[in-house]
Chain A
Amino acid sequence: MSIDLSQFIPSFLEESFEGLELMESSLLNLEQGDDETINSIFRAAHSIKGGAGTFGFDNVTEFTHLVETLLDEMRDGRREIVQGDVEILLESVDCMRLLIESIQNDTDCDDEKIAITSSLLTQTLDGSVSTPVLDDATDNYSSTVKQNNTSITWVIEFIPEHHLVQTGNDPLFLFNALAELGSVEIEANSAELPSLNDMDPEELYLRWKITLVADTTEDDIKEIFEWVEDECELTISQELAGQSSEPESVKSEPELSVTEQNISAQQTEPSPAVSEEIKPAPSEEAVPAKPNKPVSPVASKPVKSKTDVGSIRVGVDKVDNLINLMGELVITQSMLSELGNDFDLSKVERLNTGLEQLLQNTKELQESVMRIRMLPISFAFNRFPRLIHDLSKKTGKQIELVLKGEQTELDKTVMEQIGDPLVHLVRNAVDHGIEPTETRIANGKPEQGVITLDAYHQGGSIVIEINDDGGGINRNAVFEKAVEKGVVEANSSLTDSQVFDLIFEPGFSTAKELSDISGRGVGMDVVKKNIQALGGRIQVESVEGQGSSFKVNLPLTLAILDGQLVRVGTEIYIIPLITIVESLQTQKNLINRVSGDMVLYRLREDNVPVLPIYQLFNLASDTTQVEDSLLVVVEADGQKVGLMVDDLLAQQQVVIKSLNDNYQQVEGISGATILGDGSVAMILDIPGIINIAQNSSRSNQYASANPEEVLP
């Protein structure tokens, strides 16, 4: 299976820039003991690392890993947050941006700066650098180089062949690159210059002698000249340290340009490099076309573009369809308005037809608009084969990836947001799920581990399953870790699924060793947060020795919901249609009262707990007796409950409005909508309600000694 990963690179870049911006702003506001901020910085770094790993941008992954390690120490409180470290981190953010920009623009980047920053990071991690030096160093890394006693004076003789500039190389870029290493002094030797008459303006006649004072190696210098190696004579020699021209070299940049101007003053230099500066070029010949990009990656820092609004690619047929529908809508509208001009009762018939047509048109239009946003989930899945390939190489585990249901369609926003969480889950499955080959063989399993990604529709939501046939989650290890982290009490008794849910706590990881694949415990809490932000849910199932299964439940779209309107007292609520199993009138003989308040209703083979909404929400209601009341049986997370309501009203599609914009999240309510008459109705959050009910029944048992505490 070959997949063109490059189509996803733009979205990675976009996400990364967002992450970097977040890191930067958070770093600037970072204070001691500010866990949330440092966690968010860490998450941003982690996501960038993950993405870079997927696309094989190893330099980004390596660099970010260092940053992440430092952040991890800060997060765990092993390292105090001092300004010097924050400076280094900021510098690192710049480096990461450079690296990512270089991917974006497909240019080389300032390797030297990155090398220096990463060595600073390493030193900081080793704890060998004192803070004041760091401040300086990060302020301007070249000044560190100067302060550093290990600076060596290099003398480079650079004699290019005459045709060097024709191959698209420009000595100026080389010198700029050298200037980034340290301070340079450049002398041009124009002895070879022929007289103006004999001169070919497309040839290069100059040679240079460069004195470089820098803490660098011969290899680094050679690397700069790598592209012109075959087209010049290059001698690199080392002058003895000590006699370096430290004071002069401070103004290395001006020196460089002064020298250039000296040359140009002679007005004899036909090199394109200089003719750029002294346009028009002395020779009336056109400046030779330069095939290389005119922007030197080191000299130009592209202006950071604002993250633009996401775009979507839509087939022309879909747009044509929309225009058609739009046309019909306009026709209907004009027909209706004509009808209204002088309306009398004889036209009622036509009015009704018109309204019906309007309804039809609106529906179709809505559907087509929604379809524009739908994309097959393969867009999210396609990055995994490469990921698995790389990971299995890295870990030495043999893994087969099985993709199913790739054509399942999903809203674009949901798709974009779900990518990262899925990467985390798959990485986790590889790293923690699948056991090393020897263990597998010892346990009588096939050598090759299998990870399955499956997507399918279930009601109005989409389910993505990530299954592995690995070792499963070690219940005890998770529990012990949770106790150690203080998440749960040592003597508390939890069900298996409650224990597995603990892995979604921040900073939770049972992996013994850190790796750059996963294992810092950052992934899972981000995964859960992201999924919840989408209005989705994640469930874990695991059988020790047989593997784990993560089930991600997502809404198909974030904007519209099919709802059942119900009335409780004077209030109207909306129950998402997908959660409703059935609605029924209760029959007395099927009602069972169990201990305390709990009422169970016998629904064929099931016993369904009855939750009166008026009680949950403290409302006045018409019916307070379960007998002969209306029960809407809903299901969420595999749990069925019967919601007791006063009346069942219409079913309709509602547009979801957030309550969070101007207010806060309300327990048991997932959002609000505006009904046809302009009033606001709440949309019930069924899993949330079940949760409230379970919690209150648990505290009911707990507080049975003083029951008035829990009863409303």
Chain B
Amino acid sequence: MENEQEYLTFLLNNEEFGIDILCVQEIRVWSSVTELPNKPEYIKGVINLRGVIIPIIDLRQRFGIPPLEYDEQTVTIILKNPSAEKQMVVGIVVDAVSEVYKFNQTSIRKAPEFGSQIDTCFLKGLASVEEKLVILLETQTLLNQEDLYSFNQTEPVEESHV
């Protein structure tokens, strides 16, 4: 039992990603943001969440996938790291929220080291549900300012045509 962890999964470019559910504060629909000047494309801006100012990241763009148009269906997942000394809250824009799964720690396989557009530092592992493969994201790095906001400049190809 204690080895089981619940993950919220969401869709991004038809792939299913999972994130530790304990880090999910809430799920919101897209609301318009206030832009930050001179910031990378993937930082959409900031919103006011009940008096707290929270940056919004487009996870597609952060991961180097071309972005979608935002509409009423666009979902923002508000993440916060529950334990770390420096609390950090951030919203990520995803295509859609999918399911909540329980995974046993032992059933999580290590992700391949390369062959992925996604920065490997965000990858925790892979888990399979029935026929699908779910990519689990590492919340430690996803909720770390330095990792999240430093974009790998060697892969500008995806970014440039945005």
Contacts and interface: CB of A to CB of B under 8 A. Distances in A.
A429 to B, nearest CB: 37
Contact of B34 (A658, A662, A681): A681
User: Which interface residue of A617, A662, A678 has the most chain B CB atoms within 10 A?
Assistant: A662
A677 to B, nearest CB: 10
B139 to A, nearest CB: 15
Interface in B86-136: 87-90
Interface in A658-691: 658-659, 661-664, 666-669, 672, 674, 678-682
Interface in A529-576: 571
A133 interface: no
B148 to A, nearest CB: 10
B35 A662 contact: no
Interface of B: 32-39, 45-48, 51-55, 87-90, 145, 149
A93 B73 CA distance: 58
Contacts of B33: 680
A369 B19 CA distance: 44
B30 to A, nearest CB: 14
Contacts of B48: 674, 678-680
B53 A616 contact: no
Contact of B149 (A616, A664, A679): A664
B146 to A, nearest CB: 9
B145 A672 contact: no
Contacts of A663: 36, 46, 53, 55, 90, 145, 149
A657 B54 CA distance: 11
A117 to B, nearest CB: 31
21 contacts: A571-B35, A619-B35, A657-B51, A657-B52, A657-B53, A659-B53, A661-B87, A662-B53, A662-B54, A663-B36, A663-B149, A666-B37, A667-B37, A668-B38, A672-B46, A672-B53, A674-B51, A679-B48, A680-B34, A680-B45, A680-B47
Binding site secondary structure of chain A: loop
A618 interface: yes
Contacts, number: 66
User: Which interface residue of B34, B45, B47, B88 has the most chain A CB atoms within 10 A?
Assistant: B34
A619 B53 contact: no
User: Which interface residue of A617, A659, A680 has the most chain B CB atoms within 10 A?
Assistant: A680
Interface residues of A, number: 23
Given A662-B52, A662-B89, A672-B53, A667 B38 contact: yes
Contacts of B89: 662
B84 to A, nearest CB: 13
A661 B34 contact: no
Nearest to A672: B53
Contacts of A669: 36-37
B88 A662 contact: yes
A306 to B, nearest CB: 16
Contacts of A682: 34, 36-37
B40 to A, nearest CB: 12
Nearest to A689: B37
A616 B34 contact: no
